[in-house]
Amino acid sequence: MALFARKDVVAGAALLGLAGCFAWIGRDLPIGRAVRMGPGWAPMALCLLLAGLGGVLLLRGCLTRGKDEPSPPWPLRGAVPVVGSLVLFGFTVESFGLLLASGLSVFLAMLGAADFKGREAMVVSLGLAVGVSLLFGFGLGLPVKILP
């Protein structure tokens, strides 16, 4: 048994932090009064509520005993290529064209699998790139350029 419910403590702290961020970003918004609420009224009310919830969760987490289960490993091996693939697509589709951007981002995404196979990944990314270029570019007439 762990001394406290670690997940709840982290979650509570995260909520508190988030509430703080939102409140800080929106600090200049005029709050107004109930008759004519300013643009800052709802944000401030919600930030206070969120901070309150986070605080309760944090305290409750500290006071209860948690289960001592090991947390699953961080899937960095998968996450970095997956996130990278989306970002890569977003930044290359305009300059490289749909075909090349699709192929590159699929290949990058496939690097995330634990059982990555190089040749298979080449074939799949080529196939998908040609497939979506035909489907979206020619078939559905999406106004993006296909080749660089």
Where along the sequence are the contacts to another protein (CB under 8 A)?
7-8, 10-11, 14-15, 18, 22, 25-26, 29-30, 33-40, 42-43, 46-47, 49-50, 53-54, 56-57, 60, 71-73, 75, 77-79, 82-83, 85-87, 89-91, 93-94, 98, 102, 105-106, 109-110, 112-116, 120, 124-125, 128, 132, 136, 140, 142-144
Exposure on the CB side of residue 134, measured as CA atoms within 13 A = 6
Minimum separation from the CB atom of position 81 to another protein (A): 9
List residues bridging with 17 in a β-sheet: none
Minimum separation from the CB atom of position 45 to another protein (A): 10
Nearest by Cα to 6 from 47, 56, 61, 55: 61
